[in-house]
Structure 1
């Protein structure tokens, strides 16, 4: 049975756009699932116990408690073969968004593709070394882990784990010291086969319960309203850190953050929600 998140049309469009020039990923360059943490980082970031039959666990939201914590997450998307588009001037990064999160002192989790880290190593390193943020894995290639996933090219089962491991290698080479053992499926699409293939990687798959609708959106107020209407205690919000594909995100964040704080919410990283889930 395929378990799939059916997002809004804008997210579908993002998946198609991000694979317009995609090519088959190269052979993996790493064997370790994720880099060893440095002395400054927690030695054992919180993860969920394996699911039934030892499958990769899936996390969608934190505890629905009176402690009104919410995790803003940002997918830094770039496919394996979009270098030519970047060289031609298309921007897959969003420095202004990161600067706004810093100015507002918002903790956040950035799910980064390995190809993005290769294209923007200084930005990846800056995000990864900032205590406000944590870097997690969004695959190397941004290829789908199931068929029929918003038009994304599909990885074969025997390439799934190596694609995840290659992303961790790209993070290390960019200077990200402690990428977290969390993985977000491209398109949010996964099935039992994908969960089984990633079991040896030791990651927790992270989904979401609030879709921002920021993909290709130009109306920041509409994005903000969708987030504000959907957030509950423990929510994980999916947004994007890709300037060309999500141009309204930074403006939406400037409305979302103060309004949620006025409602009594505090912003946390995904690791904090997972840690709270493990204790609940």
Structure 2
């Protein structure tokens, strides 16, 4: 009996060995039974948007333009301004948005970065959400209140030092409430005004401050051709152009864009978002 058991065991081992020899690679995972869905492949974690390394003494870094030797790219940026106390003006009919401009950018297939105040997102949540969910655009932070972060900044009200970071963070909260999924870690100071104290106060927020090297002059302008000339005369490889997305304060911007875009494309320029320029800068201001 023991001999028969041993013989049977030997035959089993031999059969297993022969079966293994017939395979041409590692054993395959069993297929799921009919009607059983296979596991979906894991989605890669979203990459963090590029930012600059901290500046001297760990201060908030400041970005003004991309590399001049990395191709003919230019970033059009639009400030969606609305000051915290302008609600009554909006209620009386003043328009701080510019849907015609956004439609033109879409029609011309121009990527752009919109620096939005939290107050603007609260006033126009549907537009904020539409811009924020369009892969052609990216939304960045322009403060909640559009109060200046320094004294004597074009007559803007000022935010105290101890409230600077909370003002910035309040804007991100307003974006989330409006349905903006992924606002960028970029901050534009109201009026473009900043000093060492403001950079220090925002260090813990982990943002890159974004300025510009081309001023369009569209704020309160009435001549679209003059605005276009300012941009076309100033644009260089890697330039960041500052414009506005506010009908009441920048009424000719959309018309100027219709001139600027084809003219720069004819010169060989490609339009990009600020995030691409910062990524090309490899962390250097």
TM-score, normalised via structure 2 length: 0.83
The one of 221, 224, 231 aligned to 2:228? 224
The yes-or-no answer on 1:251 pairing with 2:245 is no
The yes-or-no answer on 1:264 pairing with 2:268 is yes
How many residues are matched? 242
The equivalent residue for 2:217 is 213
State the alpha-carbon separation in 1 of the partners of residues 254 and 275 from structure 2.
23
The answer on whether the counterparts of 1:41 and 1:178 sit within 8 Å (CA) in structure 2 is no
User: In 2 relative to 1, CA 165–279 (structure 1 residues): closer, same or farther, beyond 3 Å?
Assistant: closer
The equivalent residue for 2:32 is none
State the alpha-carbon separation in 1 of the partners of residues 153 and 283 from structure 2.
34
For residues 156-235 of structure 1, the aligned pairs below 5 Å read 156-235=160-239
The yes-or-no answer on 1:127 pairing with 2:131 is yes
The answer on whether the counterparts of 2:51 and 2:283 sit within 8 Å (CA) in structure 1 is no
User: In 2 relative to 1, CA 41–59 (structure 1 residues): closer, same or farther, beyond 3 Å?
Assistant: farther
SS of 2:202's equivalent in the other structure is: helix
Q: What are the ranges of 5 or more consecutive residues in structure 2 without an aligned counterpart?
A: 1-42
SS of 2:79's equivalent in the other structure is: strand
1:65 to partner: Cα distance? 1.3
The answer on whether the counterparts of 1:72 and 1:269 sit within 8 Å (CA) in structure 2 is yes
State the alpha-carbon separation in 2 of the partners of residues 132 and 40 from structure 1.
21
1:42 to partner: Cα distance? 3.9
User: In 2 relative to 1, CA 264–279 (structure 1 residues): closer, same or farther, beyond 3 Å?
Assistant: farther
**Higher relative contact order (CA closer than 8 Å, sequence separation 6+):** 1
TM-score, normalised via structure 1 length: 0.85
User: In 2 relative to 1, CA 42–258 (structure 1 residues): closer, same or farther, beyond 3 Å?
Assistant: farther
User: In 2 relative to 1, CA 76–40 (structure 1 residues): closer, same or farther, beyond 3 Å?
Assistant: farther
SS of 2:113's equivalent in the other structure is: strand
For residues 85-104 of structure 1, the aligned pairs below 5 Å read 85-104=89-108
SS of 1:45's equivalent in the other structure is: coil
The yes-or-no answer on 1:63 pairing with 2:67 is yes
1:279 to partner: Cα distance? 6.5
- The worse-fitting range, judged by mean Cα deviation, of 206-215 and 61-70 is 61-70
Q: Considering only aligned residues, what root-mean-square deviation do their CA atoms show, in Å? A: 1.3
1:218 to partner: Cα distance? 1.1
The equivalent residue for 2:158 is 154
The equivalent residue for 1:49 is 53
State the alpha-carbon separation in 2 of the partners of residues 147 and 210 from structure 1.
24
The equivalent residue for 1:274 is 278
Q: What are the ranges of 5 or more consecutive residues in structure 1 without an aligned counterpart?
A: 1-38
User: In 2 relative to 1, CA 266–42 (structure 1 residues): closer, same or farther, beyond 3 Å?
Assistant: farther
State the alpha-carbon separation in 1 of the partners of residues 217 and 137 from structure 2.
22
